[in-house]
Each structure stands twice: as structure tokens, then as C-alpha cells.
Structure 1
Amino acid sequence: MLNNDSIVALATASGTGAIAIIRVSGQDAISIVNTVFKSIKNKDLTKQKSHTLHLGHIVDETKTLDQVLVSVFKGPNSYTGENTVEISCHGSTYIQQQIIQLLLRKGCRMADAGEFTLRAFLNGKLDLSQAEAVADLISSDNEASHQIAMQQMRGGFSNEIAKLREELLNFASLIELELDFAEEDVEFADRSQFNELINRIEFVLKRLVDSFAVGNVIKNGIPVAIVGEPNVGKSTLLNALLNEERAIVSDIAGTTRDTIEDELTIGGIGFRFIDTAGIRDTQDVVESIGIKKTFEKIEQAQVILYLVDGCQLSVDGKLDNLLVEINRTQNQYPQKPILILINKKDLLSDKLLHTIETKLATNNQQLATLFISAKQNVGVEELKNQLLSFVNTGALRNNETIITNTRHYDSLLKALEEIQKVKFGLETSLSSDLMALDIKEALYHFGMITGQVTNDELLGNIFANFCIGK
């Protein structure tokens, strides 16, 4: 799959900017760029040391296209492991295209999506999980996702997997050796040491698998549904959280007919807030569609903010009805954190506040409750802190490995299944030939994570999601 031709692409974002970088990689990359580069000191790029910078001009025959700074990286000591040149030119889109077209005429071809990183993987500069972390790093939009991607790029996850795989491979070799001497009935693999290794691998795999629940929501943003009856202040709360007039606010019930979504980073964690249509019985066809979408968004949400108009709770029976509705919601979504928000705190008397607090504490001790005023921005910061408490960020603070990639999660689950089969085989004195099959399957799934086992289809799927130039 590895091509030796030279590829070129714009490495910076497309469009006009102060500076643009055009990247060229391949066996002939330096010599190709040398044919169009005129150094101000008449340097020959092919004779320059690696990791050096050179000022000059890109020239198309007699036409000067731009004054540029050229960076030379000689393989294997480059990102791709090949000869690589980066041309820093002025950010005009015209200049960018003129230089790229000139290099294409000189023998380069346009790089495919992710081809530079693919070459880095194929040349052994990165393993597959590190290569995938490059894409995650580029797309990271908050501190937590950035931290996870950086950790994976440094090889923390893949190094751990590679070490376990190597130890398991050593025992697999001893098991295979036993099969060669089956008639002598000898054991080369120390079963007590092998059992200790299997227990250790099982522990690590379970920890990594469990981390996916946190990692996946951190990577994609934690969806939070703001629900409640019409006109209780859901849109006002969304605007207060985002500190902008994102949703239309009106005294008319049923103003929000569709879900409105926006994102906010709190404490380095991305949250995706969803303002939903008020839940009530209605004959309005459009509003009914919005209410149906509300329940769909509740299903998708990781956290539910149940907003209540505190002023309405002074009406006889209204507080009791609220408790019934809260219990119903909790029973319907037992796995989702539910935060009860009593809105319009600034308008509530001390007596009503005490009554609400007492009754909620008595009937819903396990549910978090917060009094706020979305309009006056009271309690909004406490709400943000409460949302952070729902997220297990201890692993981030302790710099533990967190899995965010669905492909890795799937391979880890399959590897864990095979390791548990091996463990069962050890406990029941299963024959070496049957255990060897389970060990091979576990090794296969380990290899799928780091790229020691791969195929063109897998690589195509992974790198197709990369941006051009990376």
C-alpha cells in the first residue's frame, strides 16, 4: 500500500490568511522543490542538512510566484519518515494554488485525505492508535478532549497494550512449544505466572473498557436536555448558560416548537445543551411534533435538567403533582442523572422556599435540587458546578488512560472476551491446543488496536476521515 511517489497538499486551513504552509513528502520531494526554489544565497536544497530553514523565492520559469521560507526534513527523521519539505508562503489563495499547481507539473500528485499520517504509520513513525489520535487532536474543541488526544499521541494507551501483547505473545510461544512436544507431556509455560499475567491483562482491559463511557461523552460533548412544562423558563435558562440570546423568549406558552441546541465548555468539558418544546397536552399539530422531539432528545441526553416554575408551586396540589411527575421521569430514565431546577427563586417567599425544600427532600432524597432564577442569572454558576459533578473527571486529573475511539472499544471488548476464555481454560485445565486458539484471537484483537494486524480496508476507513494535508 505504501507509495514512493511524492505528494503535495495545503497543510494549513484553506482560505486567505497571513501565512499558508504547503507540504511535500516522498523520495523525490526535496529534489522536486529544489527545481522551483531559488535561494537568496544560491543554496542547493538537495545538499542541505535535515531540519534546516531556507529563505528564497518560488519561481515558475521566469515568473516569481512568492517569497517563501522552505523547511527541509530528510527521512527517516521526518513526520512521514520520508523526505519532506514544507513551504511557508503568503496566505493568498491565488499564491497557494499557483505553487501547488507548479509542483503538480513538476511530478507531485495531490495527497489523499490523511495520506501524510498514513505514510507515517506505514513507515513506523506512529502506531495506528497514535495516528488516529492525530485526527482527534485536530478536532478537539475543549481542554478535556485535547488532553485525551495528546495522551494517546504520546503512546500511553498503545504502549500499555503493546507491552501486554508482547508478554502474552511470549507465553503463546511456550504454549505452541508444548504442542510440539505433546507426546512427552511437558509444560514449558509456568501456569502460575501465566495465570498472574492473564489476571493482570483482564484488569487492564476492564479498566480501559469502563473508561469508554466517560471518554465517549467527553470527546463528543455531553448532551443535556432542558425539559419541563411550557413557559417555565427553559429558553431563558439556555440563554443564561450561553450568555447570549440564543433562544426566543416569550410569555406565550408553546413558543419553542422545535429543539434548539448549542455547546458550552465548562471546566474543560464540552456540554451540548438542548432547549426542548414544553411538555403538555395540545391539539396544535406543529407543537405536537416539537413535543415528540422533546422525548427523543431526552432519550439521547446524558443528563436531564427538569425545570419548574417555582411560582406555580404555590397553587394547591401543584407541588404534589410535580413530585409524581419527577418520580415518573426518574423511573423512566433510571440511568440518567436528573437535576431538579426550581426557577424564579427571586419571586418566591421564604415560606414557600422552605415548603418546597422540605417536601422535595422528603420525597426525592436521591435527586439533586437547585433553586435558580434564569432571568436574574441567579444559581447559574452553581448549576454549572453541579453539571461538572455528574462527569467523572477524576481520570483526567489523575492522567489515567481514557478510551474515546469506538474501534478501540470494540477491539478491547473482543480481546477481553478471549482473555476470559483463556482464564477459564487455566482454571479448568483445558488442553494447550484449545487455549492456544483463544490466545491467538486475543493477540489478533490487540494487534488491531495498534496496527500490528491490519488491512487496506481498515486503513482506508480510518484515514478517509482525515483532512487533506494531514
Structure 2
Amino acid sequence: MSTITAISTAPGTGGIAVIRVSGKDAFKNFNPIFIPRKKNFVFLEQEANTVSFGNIVNGKNEIVDEVLVSVFRAPHSFTGEDVVEISCHGSVFVQQQILQLLINQHCVLAQPGEFTQRAFLNGKMDLSQAEAVADLIAANSAASHRMALNQMRGGFSSELLKLRTQLLNFVSLVELELDFNEEDVEFADRTQLKSLATTIERLILKLSDSFSLGNALKNGIPVALVGETNVGKSTLLNVLLNEDKAIVSDIHGTTRDVIEDSINIDGITFRFIDTAGIRDTKDKIENMGIERTYQKIEQASIVLWILDCTQLSEHMEWLTDRIAKRSAGKKVILVFNKIDKIADDERDVLSQLFEQFEGERIYISARERINTDKLQKALTKAAQLPDIHPGDVVVSNVRHYEALNHAHSAICRVIDGLDAGISGDFLSQDIRECMHFLGEITGQISNDEILGNIFGKFCIGK
């Protein structure tokens, strides 16, 4: 394997930057461009897990920068290889100069995720832990951070390892029976196997069921802003995001497509979706937008149904029918907007009109920012996300979720086969299929295409 290098800090100018070198020639390639400040100090003899101070010099022995150099010797490093980490000043020019000097010394520019891929290939972490590294970098809330950290520490992997080990023990006994089929012996107790298969089925189902929570924590809870045209959906979106994301106009049907953005409220990420106003129209383009509105209602976890306090639609029954059908089973918050334009007694009348509505109701003025803080509290309450504690296993990766579903189907076939009394060779096939999909998650079973797809999504330098 070649010795690779890359800038590991974010692009641009900063106080410091970190350049990473990894591979069997990491020390050899770096040594010619580094002059330690300490007298009689030999860089090639520097002890592992230590830091030295010195200058980076070019071919003319001109100083490029003063740096701190950290040394990690194989196998006790992130990648499992010899690693040098250079902390230099954050000038883009300085970073590029040092990078070019390393390339001149036969280092190769790292591909996206190549450092983490080498850590996986060298057995420093399994595939699910490697993917958690990317999730940790991308974490934008306390909950998503804890979830990624738990997975990176191997909580998910250890659960899967236990399942595969138990399955392996039993499939070995089942397959041993096949060698003695003429003697009609049974090494694997079918009752015990069914008990184990049932336990594994429940555990796999529990893991896959956690995906809805994990996906919400990782990507944000989808919140659809719905209602008729000109009730203030776009104005409210702009207020919640604290920026002019959506065009606001008195003209009906301004929003014709879906607008999405995310914001963190009390440690929870919400993904707000502003939708086209629902009304009866013959405009072909607007009708396409309304159809997308219906789709987003069905995809959302929380629906903010926004109504104009100043004039309730004469088509309220028609509108209620369309929203209610698609929001069944979801958290729906009724948001009465423009309360600054009505009297208190009119507000009481509105309350009576919707007394059959079971969801929470909030009275706001998006334009004047009245009670928008109460709406935010209602959103965090509607989210009802449990706390993530150290050791909790939550699935947040679509690839893992799909593999768990396949594994669940396979173990269910094992249970059905045991009930039907099928032969050991068919049982063995289904058990091995379950093991295969569990192994795909951790990388015990992988191929170059899967690895390329996973690590290609990482940033360069990680």
C-alpha cells in the first residue's frame, strides 16, 4: 500500500491546520522536510505518541512553517499504520506548500475516507463503526452525537457479534448432522434451536424498529407546514429558520414546490417542509405542487396545520378531509395564525369551531412573532424523543436497516421451518443467510463495490 497524505481539517484559513500522513513510509517520507528544534534529536527515532517541535523546509532549506509533529507507530494508530500528524499554521498557502512537499517525497493524495478505510482493513474497527465516524463528523445535535458515539464505540457491533456467534454454533451442529444422515442422529436440539431463533428474531426486530428514531435523530424530524394559500406558511417558515428562505406574497399560489430546511430546537433537529397551499385550482403547475403537498404530509412525523384567524375558509370541510386522511396517526398541531388582527372574543369562537380537534392548538402571529416560542415548545413536546444513553443501540443507517430486514426474513424462515419439521440442509441455508446479512453490517462479509460506496461519501482527510 502506498503512503497517503491529506489535509484533515476543514478547507479554508484557520488558526491551525492538521495534515495527516499514513503508511509504511510515513516517517521516511516526512523526515527530509522536517528539521527538529531540539539539538541532537533524530526524528526517525522519535517515540510513539509524542510531539516534537520544528520547522518544515523546502528543497532550498527555506523555512515554510513552524510546526508540531505527532508520531503514532503501527499498530497503535487510527489507521493501524505508521502515522505522522503535522499541526501547522492555518494559511491555505502554508497547507498547500507542505502537502506539495510530501507529494514530492513520494506520498500520494488520499481519497475520500481512505484513512478510515485503512482503519477498517487493518482491523482497527468494523464497518459499522467506520460509518459511525462519518455520522459523528456530521452530527448536528446532542442526540445524534450520542448515537454516533455509541455506535463508534462498538455497541451495535457487539450486539451483532453475539447473534452471529450463536447462529454459527447451531449451524455447525445442523451441518454436522448432514455428515451422519444415514445414522439418523440429531446433534442440534430443535427445541433449543427454536428458542434461540425466536430470541434472535426479537432482537433483530428491536434493532430494526429503532431505525425510525435513529433516522429522525440523524436527519431531523420531518415537519410539514400545510394549509390553504396565504395563511402564512412561508412567513412562519422564515420565522422558524430566522432567514428569508421562502418567498412571501399576498398573491395566492406563490409556493408551488416544496421548500425544506432544518433547525435545531432544544437539541432536536427538525426538518421543516413548506408546501404548496391546498386549494381547488385548474392551474396545472400548482396542482402538481399540491400533489407534492399530500406526499409530504404522508412522509412527515409532525404536521403543522396553519389557519388564517381572519378568514376561515368556506371549504373547511373539504380541506379537513384531505389533510386528515393523510395525517392519520401523526402528531398534528393546529396553528391559528394572524391573532394580532382579531379580538379575544373572536379567538374563543375559533376555539369552539375546532373543539372536536384532539391535537394541540397554538395561537400565533408569524409576522409579529407572537407565541412562536410556544410553537417551538409544542414541537419539542410532539417529537417525544427518548434520551440516548451510553450503551443504547439505535440504528440510523439505511444500509444497516435494509440488512436487518433481510436477516429478519431469514430467521423467520428458520422458525417456520422448525415448526414444519424441514430437513437440516434447508435450515442451514436460512441460518447462513441470516448470518450473511448480519455480517454485511459489520463488514465481515463485504465487497469492493460496497466499500467504495461507503467510504466515497467521507470527506478527504478522514
Question: Does 1:355 pair with 2:349?
Answer: yes
Partner residue of 2:460 out of 438, 448, 468: 468
Partner residue of 1:9 out of 3, 6, 9: 6
Look up the SS of the partner of 2:210 in the other structure: helix
Look up the SS of the partner of 2:355 in the other structure: helix
Letter paired with 1:145: S
Letter paired with 1:89: C
Distance 1:193 1:16, change over 3 A: same
**How far apart, in 2, do the equivalents of 1:432 and 1:334 lie?**
46
**How far apart, in 2, do the equivalents of 1:149 and 1:303 lie?**
24
Question: Does 1:375 pair with 2:375?
Answer: no
Look up the SS of the partner of 1:202 in the other structure: helix
**How far apart, in 1, do the equivalents of 2:147 and 2:378 lie?**
23
**How far apart, in 2, do the equivalents of 1:297 and 1:432 lie?**
48
**How far apart, in 2, do the equivalents of 1:420 and 1:459 lie?**
29
* CA contact 1:171–1:189 (8 Å) conserved in 2: yes
Partner residue of 1:32 out of 25, 29, 32: 29
* CA contact 2:238–2:245 (8 Å) conserved in 1: yes
Q: Which residue of 2 aligns with 1:97?
A: 96
**How far apart, in 1, do the equivalents of 2:104 and 2:244 lie?**
52
* CA contact 2:298–2:326 (8 Å) conserved in 1: no
* CA contact 2:136–2:149 (8 Å) conserved in 1: yes
Q: Which residue of 1 aligns with 2:427?
A: 435
Q: Which residue of 1 aligns with 2:41?
A: 43
Q: Deviations over 1:377-418 (max 9, x none)?
A: 333233223322333412636863221111101110111111
Q: TM-score, normalised by structure 2?
A: 0.92
Letter paired with 2:376: K
**How far apart, in 2, do the equivalents of 1:439 and 1:292 lie?**
44
Letter paired with 1:94: F
Unaligned ranges ≥5, structure 2: none
**How far apart, in 2, do the equivalents of 1:169 and 1:247 lie?**
55
Greater alpha carbon shift after TM alignment, 369-378 vs 455-464: 369-378
Q: Which residue of 1 aligns with 2:379?
A: 387
Distance 1:47 1:297, change over 3 A: same
Greater alpha carbon shift after TM alignment, 150-159 vs 219-228: 219-228
**How far apart, in 2, do the equivalents of 1:107 and 1:371 lie?**
66
**How far apart, in 1, do the equivalents of 2:424 and 2:255 lie?**
65
Q: How does 1:94-173 map to 2 (within 5 A)?
A: 94-173=93-172
Q: Deviations over 1:345-389 (max 9, x none)?
A: 344444433333233223x33x33322222333332332233223
* CA contact 1:58–1:64 (8 Å) conserved in 2: yes
Q: Deviations over 1:236-267 (max 9, x none)?
A: 32233233444444445445455443321122
* CA contact 1:176–1:436 (8 Å) conserved in 2: yes
Greater alpha carbon shift after TM alignment, 351-360 vs 206-215: 351-360
Per-residue deviation, 1:198: 1.3
Partner residue of 1:345 out of 326, 339, 343: 339
Letter paired with 2:422: L
Look up the SS of the partner of 2:78 in the other structure: coil
Per-residue deviation, 1:31: 1.9
**How far apart, in 2, do the equivalents of 1:451 and 1:31 lie?**
32
Per-residue deviation, 1:225: 2.2
Per-residue deviation, 1:434: 1.3
Per-residue deviation, 1:20: 0.9
Per-residue deviation, 1:312: 1.3
Q: How many residues align?
A: 460
Q: TM-score, normalised by structure 1?
A: 0.91
Greater alpha carbon shift after TM alignment, 126-135 vs 372-381: 372-381
Q: Deviations over 1:299-345 (max 9, x none)?
A: 554432111111214xxxx57x4244213311134354332211233
Q: Deviations over 1:257-280 (max 9, x none)?
A: 554433211222211223334333
**How far apart, in 2, do the equivalents of 1:217 and 1:34 lie?**
47
**How far apart, in 2, do the equivalents of 1:152 and 1:383 lie?**
33
**How far apart, in 2, do the equivalents of 1:440 and 1:252 lie?**
62
Per-residue deviation, 1:229: 2.0
Letter paired with 2:339: K
Greater alpha carbon shift after TM alignment, 26-35 vs 231-240: 231-240
Greater alpha carbon shift after TM alignment, 289-298 vs 240-249: 289-298
**How far apart, in 2, do the equivalents of 1:444 and 1:163 lie?**
14
Per-residue deviation, 1:285: 7.3
Letter paired with 1:460: G
Partner residue of 2:447 out of 455, 458, 461: 455
Q: Which residue of 2 aligns with 1:329?
A: 323
Q: Which residue of 2 aligns with 1:402?
A: 394
* CA contact 1:330–1:338 (8 Å) conserved in 2: no
Q: How does 1:38-437 map to 2 (within 5 A)?
A: 38-41=35-38, 42-61=40-59, 62-256=61-255, 258-282=257-281, 291=290, 294-295=293-294, 297-298=296-297, 300-313=299-312, 318=313, 321-362=315-356, 364-365=357-358, 367-394=359-386, 396=388, 400-437=392-429
Greater alpha carbon shift after TM alignment, 18-27 vs 377-386: 377-386
Look up the SS of the partner of 1:334 in the other structure: coil
* CA contact 2:277–2:290 (8 Å) conserved in 1: yes
Unaligned ranges ≥5, structure 1: none
Look up the SS of the partner of 1:424 in the other structure: helix
Look up the SS of the partner of 1:31 in the other structure: helix
Letter paired with 1:342: F
Letter paired with 1:106: Q
Give the fraction of aligned pairs with identical amino acids, expressed as a percent: 51
Distance 1:294 1:438, change over 3 A: closer
* CA contact 1:214–1:391 (8 Å) conserved in 2: no
